[in-house]
Chains A and B, each alone.
Chain A
Amino acid sequence: MGATNVVEVRQLTKIYRQGEINVTALNLIDLDIAQGEFLVLMGPSGSGKSTLLHIIAGIDRPTSGECHVQGIDVADLSESRLADWRNQNVGFVFQTFNLIPVLTAHENVELPLLLTRLNRRQRRKQVETALELVGLGDRARHLPRQLSGGQEQRVAIARSIVTDPQLVVADEPTGNLDSHSAHDVLSILQSMSRQAGKTVIMVTHDPKAAAFGSRTVHLEKGELVD
């Protein structure tokens, strides 16, 4: 693995079985992603971009091939070690925000920290820092329904970075947002990559969103096209 590569994907294949038919979602993918890179995965629906993102993030497993993240082959980890690894190394941002509706912004961001050994005071400090970073320090006590879509997604970003992971994966993070909110969210992701040195992998259909990335990779029918 290269010294600066956070992700190294080799001959990665993912085949889904749908009834009697095998569907190849990813076919012999090779991809390197450097530390601090903001990689954009683009492609039409069904091209395999989300599948690739899920395998890199450790929430799906490849059929064959290797996927090393920070030197660890995530496909080899047991479910329980993979869960611990995700908690410590990966931050997730989803298209539909996926905040817990009964928890405040502060509590939502705090969730991943419940699995750590941090005490209540340390957790509070980290949550406040994460919320400040996304510009929502004054919305900590608000429930998701009291926030706009853009604010909800910023809370989700705060949740993704609160454990200080090296890798942040975002699956269509602006898909449910207006252009102004989308711009805010993309700017935050960009600054996480540029200023905090996080590796960000984002799946999007939107070329405008892709422009925020440092590199764009296209997938079609499960294969990289450039």
Chain B
Amino acid sequence: MNAATYIVKNALRNKRRALLSVLSVAASLFLFVMLLVALREMTVPPEDIGSSLRIIARNKVSLAQPLPLKQLAIIEKIPGVEAVTPFSFYGGAYKGEEKFTSFAQFAVDPLRFTAVGVDAKIDPAELQAWFADRTTCIVGVDTAKRYGLKIGDRMRFTGQIYPVDLDLKIAGIYRGTMDDRNVFFHHKYLDEALGDPGTVGTWWLRAASPEEAPRVVERINRAFANTAAEVRAETERAFQLSFVSMWGNIKILIGSICSVVVFTLLLVTVSTMSMAIRERFRELAVLKALGFRRELFAFILAESFALAMTGALLGAGGAWWLFHSLDIPKVTNGIFVSFEVTPRHMGLAFGIAALLGIISAIGPAITVARTSVVQGLRTLD
């Protein structure tokens, strides 16, 4: 026998309690990791290679306010602008029967859109077919899979923002972007349906280089300053982060829940370890009589640490395994796209488990250290 054997045998002495302790740590850390992943998914926009080049220009008053189409000619001439496309969020309900449509639809100028630099991979023939017919659209592979759509199928949308419904034919299916769910269709088709209002939702641009992007932003803002439709241009990353700021309260809420989870977990493990040690007080007194002293603290710490880390392995490891194995977009009805458990999440979960192991061992260890052999034997005799 060695010290490890003794620790393991002690930890498994009351198997049911050990199992319940491990499961309580595991369940709590699973929840903790899940919340962190959800928070990340909601607050950290996915980044791709082109995001440092792309710029969004919207109405300075509000995102909901349209911009005049005539701005296109001015933007095109701004130094550093490589390409620009109108980019309007349509926001229709697919099939008119869903309360919540899990994918967005954007009206764009297809030729300009591809020039702006989408990271999407699409068959060139399908792309040409989309260019050629203004009633067609391209669909992300995730949405196509989810609804069993194929090229040639029709997608019908009921307008929720615009007072027009759209009937689009699928010309191509793309993949390879950070979010392969969206539908892109011809802005002209939307304009025709709306009676050519001469407006767009936003402008989507491509700068000549990442270094040039901030200067392009400044030039665009300056170009439309003191006009009837002032714009607010920003990099794609900044634009996405402006949405994130809307999640401010959610961040606090999730942060609070995480704190409560960790605190409750601490109470549970401290209570469990205290109970386990209290039951063994006589034995620990005997071990002290036999000459054990600092070793007892090591035994208690190791036992507590082992239980907490086993819980972390099951909880955080289980979350990692589960979220990697599941088809998250399908399971979450498209609300979450990647739901990735990052090394930081794992590190946090295991760090918390290690801390729990240490903190929950301190109390019982101090009690054991302060109690004399005679007290220990007398208390339980």
Contacts and interface: CB of A to CB of B under 8 A. Distances in A.
A84 to B, nearest CB: 6
B290 A87 contact: yes
Interface string A57-101: 101100000000000000000011001101110001011101011
A88 to B, nearest CB: 8
A102 interface: yes
Contact of B289 (A79, A92, A101, A114): A92
A59 B286 contact: no
A133 interface: no
Nearest to B294: A80
Contact of B283 (A80, A100, A159): A100
Q: How extensive is the interface on chain B, given as a class? A: 20 to 34
Most buried by A among B2, B282, B373, B381: B373
Given A98-B282, A114-B3, A86 B9 contact: no
Contacts of B6: 103, 107, 111, 114
Interface in B262-294: 282-283, 286-294
B298 to A, nearest CB: 11
Given A115-B291, A115-B292, A102 B9 contact: yes
5 contacts: A54-B374, A59-B289, A59-B374, A86-B291, A87-B291
Nearest to B290: A112
Interface in B1-37: 1-3, 5-6, 9-10, 12-13
A112 B288 CA distance: 10
Interface of A: 54, 57, 59-60, 79-80, 83-84, 86-88, 92, 94-96, 98, 100-103, 106-107, 110-112, 114-115, 120, 159
Contact of B293 (A80, A94, A111, A159): A80
Contacts of A59: 288-289, 372-374
Interface of A is mostly: helix
Nearest to B291: A87
Contacts of A111: 6, 287, 290
Contacts of B5: 107
B283 A98 contact: yes
A29 B58 CA distance: 96
B290 A94 contact: no
A103 B373 contact: no
A102 B293 contact: no
Nearest to A92: B289
B291 A60 contact: no
Nearest to A83: B293
B1 A112 contact: no
A135 to B, nearest CB: 22
A79 B289 CA distance: 11
Contacts of A103: 1, 6, 9
A84 B294 CA distance: 11
